[in-house]
Chains A and B, each alone.
Chain A
Amino acid sequence: MSQARPTHDPAAAAAAEEQRRETLARLLEESKQIRGNSLWSDAWRRLRRRRAAMASLIGLIVLVILALLTPLLPLQSPIDKDLKNRRLLPPEWGAMTMGSREGLGFAEGSLVAELRRFDAEIDELRRQRGELSDPAERSAMDEKIRQRTRVEHPFNQLWNKLGPVSHLMCRLRVSLFGDYAIPSIFGTDKLGRDLLARVFWGARVSLLVGVVATLVSLVIGVSYGATAGYVGGLVDAVMMRIVDILYSIPFIFVVIFLITFLGEDNVKVWLQDRGIEQITIFYFVIGAIYWLTMSRVVRGQVLSLRNEQFIEAARTVGASTWRIVFRHLVPNVLGVVIVYLTLTIPAVMLFEAFLSFLGLGVAPPDVSWGQLLNDGVEALSSVRLYWWVVVFPGAALAATLFALNFLGDGVRDALDPKMKNRD
C-alpha cells in the first residue's frame, strides 16, 4: 500500500476527499461506540473477575432482600418479652406458635385466632357505624374504629410501629404461614425475646442507617466539594480551610456531645412536636460527619479535571458549561464518588453500631445490631456462658462489614485501574 500522492485531477481529488470523509465518519462512529462501553463496562468486567467481590455483592443483595422482606418471613416477634419462661435460652429447635405466650392474652393462644377475633370486632363496629345516622355519632364511631385499629391491634404487641407496607406484609405472612414461626435457633436474649427475629429486624435499621447516612454525606460532600473545586479561587480556599478546621475536631466526640444534647428530654419533645423523629436526626448527624473526606475527594477531582486537556478541548469546540459539567465532569467524578461511597457505607454502619453499643444510638424499642451487641456484652459478663447473645449479632455485623469492605476494594480496583496493582 503506497502512500497516496497529491494529484491535480479535480475529479480524483473530489473522490479522494469523499473517501476521506467516509473514513473519518466511520472512525467517529467507532470511537462513539468505544466511549459508550468504556469506563463502566470495563469496570464491570474487572469487578466480575474478582470472585471475593462478586460473592460479597451477591451476599449483600441477598441480605438486602431478606431485610426488605423481613415482615413477610415467619419469624417470631422481635419485641415480645417472656421473662417467665424464655430468658436466655440457648439455640433450640422446638417449634413455636405465634401468640402462644399467655401474657399476650390472645384468643386460643394463637395469632391467627386473635386476628380473626379482632377483625370480627372491627367489622362489627363498622356495621354499627353503617347503622348510625347522626353525623356526629358517625364521626365519633370513626374515631373509635381508628383508635382501635391503631392502638389495640394485636400486631402492636408483637411488632414495633409497623409502617403501612410492613403491616400489609405481616398480614400476608399470617395468611401464608398461619401461626408457624421459626424456632429460636439463635437462642433468646435476657428478656426472653427471640434473637433470630431481632437480628433480622436489626438488619433493617442498621442497613437503613448505613444507606441514608451515606446519602446524606454524599449530598453534602459532593455539592460542597464540587462548588469549591469549580468556583476555585478565594471561595475554594475559604471552603477548604473550613474543612481543615472541621477535620481537626475529634468528630466522634462532638457527635456524642450533640447526641447528648438531642437526647435531652425538652429537646426531644421540641423535636417531636415538629414531627422530627430521633432516628432521623441520628441519620443526619452521622451523615454530617462523613462528608468531609467526600468533599475533599470531589473537590480534588473537579479541580484536576478543570485543568485537564479534554475539558479545554471541549471548551474550544464550543461546548456549553452545562454540557461540560454533565458530559465530562460528572462521569469522571462519579468514579471516585462511587469508590468512596462503597467505603463510606461500612464506616457509617460501624459508627452506628458503635454509638448504639454505647447506648447513644438507636433507642429501644427500635432494634439495631449495635444495640443487640450491647445487650450481648452485658449478658456476657455473667457467670454462665451465654455465647449466643454475642456471637450471632456479632457475626451478622462482621459478615456484612466484611462483604462491604471486600466489595468496596473490588469496586475501587475496578474503577481505578491505576490502583490495580495494590491488591
Chain B
Amino acid sequence: MSSPAAGAATKSLIAFGKKERKMLFDPMLDNNPITVQVLGVCSALAVTVQVNRAIVMALALISVLVFSNVIISMLRKLIPPSIRIIIMLAVIASLVIIVDQVLQAFLFDISKSLSVFVGLIITNCILLGRAEAFALANPPWQSFLDGVGNGMGYGIILVVVAALREILGSGTFLGFHVVPQIAYDLGYMNMGLMVLAPGAFILLGLLVWVQRTVTGYRE
C-alpha cells in the first residue's frame, strides 16, 4: 500500500480529495474486504441468520475498526516492528471489551444471541489486516477513512447475506413477515437450508460470483 503524499497531509490534516474519496468508497465494492480481500469471513457467515444481528455486528465491527485504525496510526512511529502484532492485539482486544460491555448493557438479548462472535472480532482478519497493511503506514485521518470504508464494505455484505437468509429461510425481514400468507397457502415453503450453516456458505459463494461478474475481478 503506497503511503499518501506527505504534502497533502501538511496542507490540510483532514483533506477530502479524490484520493480520500477512493479510500472511503473503494472497499465498499471494488476492493471489498470479504469478497475480494477474503478477510473476516468467519463472522460474516455466523451472524447472518437474522438481519438485526447482522446490523448490530456490523456496527460493532465498524466502531472497533475505526478506533483501532486511528489509535494504531497515531502510535505508528512508537511501535517497534518486532512486537507490533502483540501491540495491535492489545489495542483491538481492549476496544472489543468496551464494545462487548456496551452491548451487554444496552442490547442484552442481541448480545446473548451473538454469543462468542463479538469476542471473535479480536481475531477478525479485517482488523489486523487493515492495521498491518494501512494504519501502520498512514496518518490518522486517512486511516479513519480506510476504517470507515472497510467497515462499511463488511457491513454491506453482512446485511445482504443476512437479508437473503432471513427472507428465504424464515420468510421475515427484521422480524416482520414479508412472504404473504397466500404464498404459503399455495404451497410455498421456507427454505430450511438457509438457516443452517451450509446455506450461508452457498449463498456467500453465489454472492461472490455475482459481485466478481459485475466488477470484473479475477483470481
Task: Indicate, yes or no, whether A interacts with B.
Answer: no
Interface of B toward A, CB cutoff 8 Å? none
Residues of chain A touching chain B, judged by Cβ–Cβ distance below 8 Å, are none
